[in-house]
Amino acid sequence: MVTAAPPEAERPSVLRKATRSATTTPGRLSVIAVGLLLLTVVTGLIGALTLQGKQATLDDLVDRREPLAAAAQQIFRSLSDADATAASAFLSGGVEPADLRARYERDIAQAGMALGKASSDVGGDSNASDQVAILSQQLPVYTGLIETARSNNRQGFPAGAAYLREASGLMRSKILPAAERLYDIDYERLTAEQKDARSFPWAAAVLVLGLLGALVATQRYLTRKTNRLLNVGLVTATVAVVVGLLWATVALLVEAAHVADAERNGSQQVDVLVQARINSLKCRADETLTLVARGDGPGYEREWQQLSATITGEGDANLLRQAKALASDDAIAGEVQQAVDNADAWLAAHRKVRELDDSGQYEEAVRFAIGDAPDSAAAAFGKLDKNLITALNAGRQEFFTQTTRAGQALTGLVPGVVVLALVAAIGITMGIRDRLREYR
């Protein structure tokens, strides 16, 4: 007799078999093993990618982001110094001194090289692209006006002063604001990457803690089922996860501390010094252009008074005092203190320049403004600028040192996390497999 096959609806489906199997202890253990393995793989992958991203951010800070911010600052510094130098050369009358001419040409060349470097990273930022375009288009116009002013000045034509003031007006109204905005953009990018570098990886931390909790819960479950206190495989996996968690936590704390030091003692201090130097350069140009204007430049003197307060005034508005408070060591603090002293000396020299000019002693005022006497305005400004350059370089070095140390704190962590995840996966597999064998 042939037995008829059961109807299709009565045949157990694969899903029904799997569901029924999961209600048994071996089935539950298999499901737990698969879940733990998947969670381990995801945790290891996310953790490794997160740590690799932090390492890449630190490398980018050192190799690209900070040098680009420095290049943008160099553009402003060189162009502002070129403007002040051109005015000083004009005051010399006739054929300008060779050293001032060489300094002006060097400033323009440095600005061009820095602009080329800064423009290499504008990317999709339309604002940065606009500033680079302004600088590229207007700089040749400025240099052309300066050459025309020089030519007229050599021949004794009064039109030379008009061309010089037109050139300086272009520099102040379009070129320097574009350079300053470009620096602000690059500095904002720098601080954003520093913030990202020291941020806590919450997603990876949640996954690690979740995996650790799942391992502990699985071992408690097995203890109740088998009356065995320890499962060697799962204990090994748990230890691997704990080691990875502790290692990563300590490394990230050290890394974040170094990034914070690089920000406070490096980039923040440099930014304050950059602002102080920008203002001092503007003041120097104002000082010389006031004399070029010969009684028709009260606006330059008003700006000098406003800006000089940021490097010679009392209280928190004094950028040099802010920089001294941020100094990471006595050497930098001492350099900034010298800058404070030289700024005060420059203030005293400027007052003398104005007294001579206002009393009708124009030639004496010019000599005291651009001459090489130890107590001249030019000498005091030169000392101040040298102090600022030295402090800026020290701040940049502190940034590189601390950021490099931050990267060193993560050395070996990415491959270490991968290896520990593999150890955990093997431990889970061995631990669950041994219990499954007991049911066969």
Asked if residue 368 lies in contact with residue 352, where contact means CB atoms within 8 angstroms, the answer is: yes
Could you tell me the pLDDT band of residue 18, with boundaries at 50, 70 and 90?
very low
Mean pLDDT of 122-141: 88
Indicate whether 16 pLDDT > 60: no
Asked if residue 236 lies in contact with residue 207, where contact means CB atoms within 8 angstroms, the answer is: no
Comparing CA positions, the residue from 422, 420, 416, 424 lying closest to residue 52 is: 416
Q: Where are the alpha helices (DSSP H) in 61-125?
A: 66-92, 98-118
User: Which pLDDT does position 118 carry in this prediction?
Assistant: 85
Encode 231-255 in three state secondary structure.
Answer: CHHHHHHHHHHHHHHHHHHHHHHHH
* Per-domain boundaries in the chain: 29-437
User: Which pLDDT does position 438 carry in this prediction?
Assistant: 66
Indicate whether 10 pLDDT > 50: no
Asked if residue 399 lies in contact with residue 387, where contact means CB atoms within 8 angstroms, the answer is: no
User: Which pLDDT does position 373 carry in this prediction?
Assistant: 87
Q: 205-222, pLDDT tens digit by residue? A: 999 999 999 999 988 888
Mean pLDDT of 355-364: 89
Q: 227-245, pLDDT tens digit by residue? A: 666 788 899 999 999 999 9
State the pTM of this model: 0.82
